[in-house]
Structure 1
Amino acid sequence: MDFFEGMSQRDIGQFRRACAHLLGMCFICKKNEDTKADYYYILRQKEAIEEYLDVLGLALEINEQYGVVQLVSREGLGHLNLRLADSIVLLILRILYDEKKRELSLTDVVVNVGDIQEKYLSLKIREKQLDKTTLNNALRTLKRYNLIGLLDRDMSQEDARILIYD
């Protein structure tokens, strides 16, 4: 492919890493230290990456205001079907994100496991809290797709912190 012509080995390595992260995570966030370099690389090499992804039937959506690059399928393929618990936790995180942004005007929104459990109970989805295994699995799934960052190792604790990416 023509876009590799004139690229150094270092550039080709960065290109591979950025594309692999996009394919594996679907979202690249500027605020995530693990993917920040990829975010800026994608902005610099947007045309070459778009040409490469076009062959795969994929497209880039870039929102510089929020610092997010998203990978989308033009054919509507490759969507993830979340489990019910994952969807509920994602919805709760969105509600908490909006509340914290409105209240505190923070740049980084951090919530804790206790906040999630409290919101879950207040929404009256069930009469008892999410069990720890279900919640941990949901959080790991959302982390895998680069929607959140887990700031503490033990997510079974009420005060374990979760960074919600913009």
Structure 2
Amino acid sequence: MTTYYRDPDVLITSSGIRMNGRDFRLSDLIEVWHTKGGRSWSVIAKRGVLGLAILIPVLAGALAIGIALLVHMDTAHTLALVIGGVLVGLAVVPVADLVLERVDRSYDAGSRTIEIWGRVRGGNVLLLRTTNAQRFGRIYRALQRAMEPAVHR
């Protein structure tokens, strides 16, 4: 028996699958497909907020430098504003890596609900519902690989 995918909730082997607390033999599955729900605007809004978290300090630093160059002040104040603006802008660099990592993880997780459905003799069965796009992709590919040999037998 070949195991194509395994996690605490899903098991896909060459002989059958376990999803959503139910067991099915591959030969019981007549057809398998997936559907995608609507976008979660809250996830998209969080991505926008993360983008602003990077841009606001950069804009503040650029504004300080711009003010220092446009307003006629003594050299000490101008130099202080320029150095302060550069430091604020540079402070974003270590934080940007962390923020961009969170943005990457939000894309991996996805912004919509994805479902895997199967047709058995008794009708259509919901096999899996998730918002994690990366996990969905792994499970769906494993399910396709597992079902392919069953079709050719």
**TM band (smaller chain):** under 0.3
Q: Which has the higher contact order (CA 8 A, sep 6+)?
A: 2
More helix by share: 2
Higher strand proportion: 2
CA radius of gyration, larger in: 2
Instruction: Output the TM-score relative to the length of structure 1.
Output: 0.21
